[in-house]
Amino acid sequence: KQEVTQIPAALSVPEGENLVLNCSFTDSAIYNLQWFRQDPGKGLTSLLLIQSSQREQTSGRLNASLDKSSGRSTLYIAASQPGDSATYLCAVSTVETSGSRLTFGEGTQLTVNP
Amino acid sequence: GAVVSQHPSRVICKSGTSVKIECRSLDFQATTMFWYRQFPKQSLMLMATSNEGSKATYEQGVEKDKFLINHASLTLSTLTVTSAHPEDSSFYICSANDRGNEQFFGPGTRLTVL
């Protein structure tokens, strides 16, 4: 059974800092890995999707890496801003007969202080 | 990008009533839709996988007679919480698979049972 772990559970940084969020998964037979952002009481916003054959993806100030063999991914946020404050969720996808299945980590709650 | 809608976004009901939540893929056909539940400060937990034209597959511990899922068309899946009780109060989120096996998430439905 796939298990996804995110470290740290919570992180508070001053504005402008670069930061790294970590995600690890137990079964390396994944189809892809996604990073999501969730604001309080809201749904999920997809940030980056990395296919299993890829090593990283970049979007603006965000960079996500994937090391499938070691079961790890990192989300790097450059020059953090107060608007980046949210919960960041990592999810890995496996393909089953019913379609893809996502397993989520518990999330990292990020607070960027002005 | 692919858009998934949910209706209603928020519902408050009395204990013992049934509540129906709709999930629609607006600009693509989804053969598979997923229903998740999220309790406060916790991650998303998969409840069931819904395939168009067939019975839903429920995760262990999810009562199929309590959470009725109907996936009658390629763009609509419904989740009915029957005889809802306060412990069913939660945030319910659906997602839909496109042909690339990427999941797109709805904005969620906040259910409060009094």
Q: Write the pLDDT tens digit of every residue in B3-60.
A: 999 999 999 999 999 999 999 999 888 888 999 999 988 889 999 998 888 889 999 8
Q: What is the mean pLDDT of residues B53-82?
A: 91
A99 interaction partners in chain B (CB closer than 8 Å): 31-32, 49, 51, 97, 101
Which residues make Cβ contacts (< 8 Å) with residue B73, sequence separation at least 6? B52
Q: What's phi and psi for B88, nearest 5 deg? A: -85, -10
Specify the pLDDT at position B2.
82
Task: Output the pLDDT for position B31.
Answer: 81
* pLDDT at position B51: 84
Q: Cα(A29)–Cα(B110) distance, rounded to whole angstroms?
A: 34
Q: What is the pLDDT of residue A97?
A: 65
| Amino acid residing at B11 | V
Label residue B61 by pLDDT band (50, 70, 90).
very high
Question: In chain A, which stretches have pLDDT less than 70?
Answer: 96-100
The C-alpha atoms of residue A94 and residue A1 are separated, in whole angstroms, by 11
Which residue type, as a one-letter code, is found at position A100?
S
Query: Do the chains contact at A98 and B43, CB–CB below 8 Å?
Result: no
Nearest CA in chain B to A4: B43
Tokens standing for residue A64: 């996500």
Judged by DSSP in three states, B88 sits in helix
